[in-house]
């Protein structure tokens, strides 16, 4: 599920209002998320980070991850383009990818993403990752990131 989402995200294939409006002129590119004033075009950056309808969940994840990178814009975060130590690369990508996936799922379901829900989902997935015992060092790094979220 995560791989499919990341493929769509990185190839700009998410069904944002902006993308849908390019194929159907009758559809507005403006955001329709609950809680969003609908004055911004809904592209992937808006949908995952900037949208007020996300209750700050995407922005909180971005700010947390930004503290681990040299410098990163919101656009770079959505494209998973950042400069980070090699030991943190998996952890940062994992946290961003899974957080964005949860935010996107909630938006598609017509719900307003909440940070506590995104964090709880990440913590549940960390528990599953810990059970695989393949990424023990990465799980520790992810845990430290989540403590700051």
Distance CA 148, CA 20 (A): 36
In tens, the pLDDT along 125-137 reads 988 887 776 667 7
CB count in 10 Å sphere of residue 2: 12
Q: Which residues of the chain have pLDDT under 50?
A: none
Is residue 41 helix, strand or coil?
Answer: strand
- pTM of the full structure: 0.91
CB count in 10 Å sphere of residue 27: 14
Distance CA 76, CA 53 (A): 21
């Amino acid at each position: 599920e995560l791989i499919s989402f990341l493929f769509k995200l990185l190839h700009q294939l998410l069904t944002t209002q902006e993308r849908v409006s390019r194929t159907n002129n009758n559809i507005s590119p403006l955001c329709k998320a609950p809680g969003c004033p609908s004055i911004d075009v809904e592209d992937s950056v808006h949908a995952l980070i900037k949208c007020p309808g996300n209750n700050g969940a995407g922005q909180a994840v971005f700010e947390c991850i930004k503290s681990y990178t040299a410098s990163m814009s919101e656009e770079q975060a959505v494209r998973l383009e950042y400069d980070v130590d090699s030991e943190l690369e998996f952890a940062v990508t994992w946290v961003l990818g899974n957080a964005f996936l949860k935010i996107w799922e909630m938006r598609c379901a017509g719900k307003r993403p909440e940070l506590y829900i995104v964090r709880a989902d990440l913590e549940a997935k960390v528990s599953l990752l810990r059970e695989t015992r393949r990424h023990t060092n990465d799980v520790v790094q992810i845990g430290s990131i989540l403590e700051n979220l």
